[in-house]
Structure formats: C-alpha cells, structure tokens
Amino acid sequence: MIKEIAHAKINLALEVMDEKDGYHMVNNLMMPIDIYDELILEKSDDISVLNDPFPNDNIVVKASKLFFEYTKINGGVFIKLKKNIPHQAGLAGGSTDGAATLRGLNKLYNANLSNLELKNLAAKLGSDVPFFIEEKPALCTGRGEKINIVNSNIKPFRILLIKPEAGLSTKDVYKNYKYEGISKDKELSNLLKALENDDLELLKNNIFNDLGDVALKLSNDMNNIFVKLSLLGLKVYVSGSGPTMYILDYDNDNLDIINEMLDASVFIKESKSI
C-alpha cells in the first residue's frame, strides 16, 4: 500500500500568449500550497477508484492506464481517493491527482521511473500535470508542460482562498481571452527576484493573471465577491482560470470581516505556501 499527498497550487503569474498547434503558449509561475487530496494505492487485478467523483472521465484512471501501458507491467490498482481540493476551482485538483497517481504507482510497483519519465507521462494527461510530479515552485513554459524549478527562499506565507459555489469552465475562459501582445517580462523578473530574496511585498506587488479579467466577466458571483473584498482595501488575486481568488498576508481582523460579509455557500479556506 502506498499513500500519496496531492497538493493544490496557486498561480503567482499567468501570462497567456498566442496559440500554437491548438494550445496557448504560457509563462505560468506556480506555487504549491498545503491543501491536498489523499490517495491510497493498493495492487489489484484491474483499475478502480473508490469515491470516484468523475467515473466517466477520471484523470486518476487515465494516469493508471498510461502508467501500465508505458511500463508494460501486467497489473492494476485500487485507489481510495479523498477529495479536499474543490472541483473546477483553478487550483488544479484534477491535475495534482493525476501526478500523484503516477508517483504512487511508480513506488507501488518499484518501476524506478525517473522524474523526467514521470513528467513526460504527465504531459500526456494535461499541460499543468508535470508541475505536480515534484511539487516545487516553478515557471512553466510552452503550453505549461516545460517545468523550470525556480530558486525560492521565501518563507511560507498565509493564503486565504475564496471560491463561489459555482465552478467556471477553463475552456470558456480561454475561448473568451484575447492576447494583446503586452510583455510581462518585468513582472515575471520581479516575482522571481521576490522568491529568491524572500521579499513578500515585492511578490504581492507583481502578481498577475492574464485570465483574471475574463474570469470575472464570466462569473457574476466571482465578480461580486471580488468587488466586495476590493472595497475593503484588500488586494485580491485570481488563481488559474478561476473562480478561486486569494489574498496574501491578511490578518485575523480581515478574516472575521470576510467570513461575516460573504454568503455561507462561499468556500473560504486558510492555507499557506509550501
């Protein structure tokens, strides 16, 4: 039996550029956070998932099939999946589960696949899945599958995650996005410098997300929350394609006000960077 922890992520930078071969090219600076799903893997004759929330389209099953096809191992796996990361949240709950499945199977069957092999397999499951093989702060380029681990000395910082009840389709967000050709090299450079030099203020002042405005336009619930929090003087960031937003370095007074202000259906969760 193998237990794997599958961490969520936030985007510190998401620069979305022109399409190439059907995919948008990106500069995507991602940070793993301490909210996670749990997977317990046991050897079996076939592939099955307990508590499978998506039986017809589960990345965990896809990852398992991909692993056995690649390794030529004649086996299967029974996976107990405990979901803590919200679905359709911009936190990559599916992608991290897929990567955790590959890592877990590699250990369960002593396959000795390298991280590079695992990342190459992960890239077949989705653009941001390779990031979760190592779960370290990284600048992901190309369509997101090229993982460049960054030098990060920043101390763990508080993150408040806020998500309206309704999800948001990544496909719809990208469909409504138009690249304006504005370079974000300066912001990216400052973010990398902030991580290296443990400078949280520099980090907060340079976080950006090209998909943020589109997500806010597509989700009234998300936009209403964004406006309410902004009127409190809080700096609110969008993670991925939304609808999860986050606030950094908040205090407990902020937290009390936010909890009182927002509807009970809104997902509010304290987290921290790892």
Distance from C-alpha of 49 to C-alpha of 90, rounded to nearest angstrom:
23
> Are 100 and 72 contained in the same domain?
yes
Residue 10, beta-bridge partner list: 31
Q: Is the pLDDT of residue 204 over 90?
A: yes
HSE (CB half, 13 Å, CA atoms) of 3?
5
Residue 138, beta-bridge partner list: 30, 149
CATH number at residue 133: 3.30.230.10
> Are 10 and 113 contained in the same domain?
yes
Write out the two tokens for 233. 């003087």
Question: Which of 127, 45, 143 is CA-nearest to residue 94?
Answer: 127
Q: Is the pLDDT of residue 15 over 70?
A: yes
Active-site positions? 9, 128
Q: Three-class SS of residue 51?
A: coil
> Are 181 and 245 contained in the same domain?
yes
Question: How many separate domains does the chain show?
Answer: 2
Q: Is the pLDDT of residue 55 over 70?
A: no
pLDDT in tens, 208-246: 999 999 999 999 999 999 999 999 999 999 999 999 999
> Are 28 and 85 contained in the same domain?
yes
pLDDT in tens, 100-137: 999 999 999 999 999 999 999 999 999 999 999 999 99
